[in-house]
Amino acid sequence: MARPKISLKLGLMTTIVICWLVPIIIIVALAGILFGDNYRRSVEQEIAASADYALRQVQVLLGDAIKDSKTMSYDGIVRSAYRSYQQSCDSAALYRSINDYLNQKFSRAENYKAVFISFWDKNVDVDAYLLSSGTAGYELLQACRDCEPQILERMADADTDICFLLLDGNLYMARNLLDSHFEPYASVVMVLEPTVIFQSVYSIPRIHNIRLTIDDIQFYPDEQNSLSTAEGRQGGIRYEAEIDSHGFSFTAEPEKYDLWGENPWLSRAACAVALMVLPMLIVVIALFQYHVSRPIETLAKANLLVQSGQRGYQITQRPPNSEFQKLYSHFNAMSAEMKSQFERSYQEQQAAQRAQIKALQSQINPHFLNNTLEIINWEARIAENDRVSAMIEALSTMLGAALDRDGRTQITLKEELGYVEAYLYIIRERLGEGFHVHQQIDQLLLEQTVPRLILQPIVENAVEHDITTRRGGDLWVRAFRREDRIFLEVEHDGKMTEEDRKSIRLLLSDSAEGGSQVGLRNVHQRLKLIYGSDGKLTVEETPAGTILARICFPMAGRGGGNP
């Protein structure tokens, strides 16, 4: 006799009573974690805010420098002085004009260590340099003169673009000056002051190992405020901005904050809590895993197996408690009942479907057979000829389709069109030259399987309700494909009365009534039986004054119900 299972409710209550202190301990531990996390976030927010402010400051200062270079290019003062020099060859006058202009414009600017203009014409022997106050003039002047050839070489292909260069620890910004013919005649060079322009970046708290980048130039400040190349150096948080189509960015590594090291009491408290909490936590997790998690996973897995098609699947695992023992038993009973109901329903549906299809296939217009036999009898009484033979062959084809001796529910479209051709041959013989048939058939669909007698009843309905009444007319038969669906259309001359429209609406609404449109009702019912919602029959009047019946269903193997 199986031992009764322990109640899940009793087991959980016992665990709660034993571990009543655990929530308090967890709250204390989480408080310490949350405190550290909040402090870390506040530090990150402070760094992010400072970095955003620093980027804006650099954008402003570098933007001002770029604007100053544009002003020198557009105000025409240097150009006028150079044009005067070309006419007079007075170097002293050129020097005075340039020097006065630089002093007037940049003498109070703190953004630059120096500003100078280099003429591309080697015959112009004018050195106009403006050095900021407090700068080691001779060393900086000599550095500018030494770097001037490299700068001019770099600016040869720069046109009007601004170029940044890092040479001998100094950051140069250069722009070409153009004459009236838009040809460069000189370059204005600004030696940027990093302690001013990048001061906001250097002042960001809690970061170190700063690396700056302007366009493709990577550098970092050393202890003497000189700039050194930093190519290949990676790591840290990256902040970037665009300044007048020039990219500026910097990376920095945040300082590490050791919450536990700076607050030793937190470490001692955490250790004490862990010593009390860990054993009970292990017990709670193990019990919950055994009594709740695993059984739920077993039920979920069994449910997925049933959904995937394994109806009747039975859970064989031993339940850990009485609650899940009941759930397992109920699930197994439900699965077995589902399998039984499904098999019974499927068998009933198959039997009903076969019976309905047989009943629908057996319906064929007796008036058509009588009329056909009357015509053949009349032709035979006149004289035996090929027409009579052909009509008898057509009638044989129609009778074979109606009787369905081999019991096939699916045939090829080619065979179905053969039935239509046989029927239409007889109708043409009956109506004479006033009846015209037009076929538009996609030849690639001829071997596609379609339901037997799905098209011929539609053609017969069009002929009997309109063509024969009018003693002639045009009829179009089409078969084509769109994506994975087959479309069969029958269009003919004719007009629908209000009674016809009402009858067709009743038919397509799955009503038990269907008026006199027996062929349409049969086709509609067969489409629903075979393809479900994927099979459709529509009848509508076209703007051209004709009636169009359209059948649509999936291609073989593309979905739909079981035939």
Q: What is the pLDDT of residues 333-359, one digit of tens each?
A: 888 888 887 777 666 566 556 655 555
CA within 13 Å, CB half, 517? 28
pLDDT, mean of residues 457-483: 87
pLDDT, mean of residues 268-284: 70
Residue 169: strand, helix, or coil:
coil
Which letter does DSSP use for residue 5 in this model? Answer: P
The total of other beta-carbon atoms located within 10 Å of residue 140's CB is 17
Of 111 and 223, which is predicted with more confidence? 111
pLDDT-derived band at 526, boundaries 50, 70, 90: confident
CA distance 22 to 273: 9
Of 11 and 519, which is predicted with more confidence? 519
Q: Phi and psi of 76, rounded to 5°?
A: 80, 5
Q: What is the DSSP string of 308-341?
A: TT-TT----SPPSSHHHHHHHHHHHHHHHHHHHH
- What is the pLDDT of the chain when averaged over all its residues? 79
Give the pair of three-digit tokens for residue 289: 């895993």
Tens of pLDDT, residues 317-334: 888 888 888 888 888 888
129's enclosing H/E stretch is strand 128-131
Q: What is the DSSP string of 522-536?
A: HHHHHHHHHHGGG-E
To the question of pTM greater than 0.85 for the whole model, the response is: no
Tens of pLDDT, residues 186-197: 888 989 988 888
CA distance 83 to 85: 5
CA-CA-CA-CA torsion sign (340, 345, 346, 351): positive
pLDDT-derived band at 110, boundaries 50, 70, 90: confident
Share of the chain above pLDDT 70, in %: 73
pLDDT, mean of residues 422-426: 85
Q: Is the pLDDT at 479 greater than 90, yes or no?
A: yes
Whether 360 and 522 have beta carbons less than 8 Å apart is answered as: yes
CA distance 390 to 394: 6
Give the pLDDT score at 443.
94
CA within 13 Å, CB half, 278? 6
Whether 233 and 211 have beta carbons less than 8 Å apart is answered as: yes
Tens of pLDDT, residues 532-550: 888 899 999 998 889 999 9
Cα 522–chain centre separation: 44
- Crossing angle of helices 366-382 and 413-431, in 10° steps, is 60
The total of other beta-carbon atoms located within 10 Å of residue 95's CB is 17
Which letter does DSSP use for residue 46 in this model? Answer: H
pLDDT, mean of residues 478-492: 93
Of 35 and 396, which is predicted with more confidence? 35
Q: Is the pLDDT at 559 greater than 50, yes or no?
A: no
pLDDT, mean of residues 517-529: 80
Q: Is the pLDDT at 34 greater than 70, yes or no?
A: yes
Whether 469 and 378 have beta carbons less than 8 Å apart is answered as: no
Pick the closest to residue 193 from 277, 106, 289 (CA basis).
106
pLDDT, mean of residues 32-56: 81
Q: Phi and psi of 263, rounded to 5°?
A: -130, 80
Pick the closest to residue 419 from 542, 320, 519, 497 (CA basis).
519
Window from 160-169, 176-185, 374-383, 501-510 with minimum mean pLDDT: 374-383
Whether 213 and 231 have beta carbons less than 8 Å apart is answered as: no
Burial of 492 from C-beta contacts in 10 A (0-12 / 13-18 / 19+): buried
Q: Phi and psi of 6, rounded to 5°?
A: -70, 140
Of 30 and 207, which is predicted with more confidence? 207
Window from 18-27, 47-56, 119-128 with minimum mean pLDDT: 18-27
Q: Which of 146-160, 247-261, 273-287 has the highest mean pLDDT?
A: 146-160
CA distance readout (Å), 556 to 485, 486, 531, 551, 559: 9, 9, 11, 15, 8
Residue 482: strand, helix, or coil:
strand
CA distance 539 to 547: 7
pLDDT, mean of residues 421-448: 88
Give the pair of three-digit tokens for residue 292: 């709740």
Cβ contacts of residue 195 below 8 Å, gap of 6+?
A: 202, 225
Q: Is the pLDDT at 19 greater than 90, yes or no?
A: no
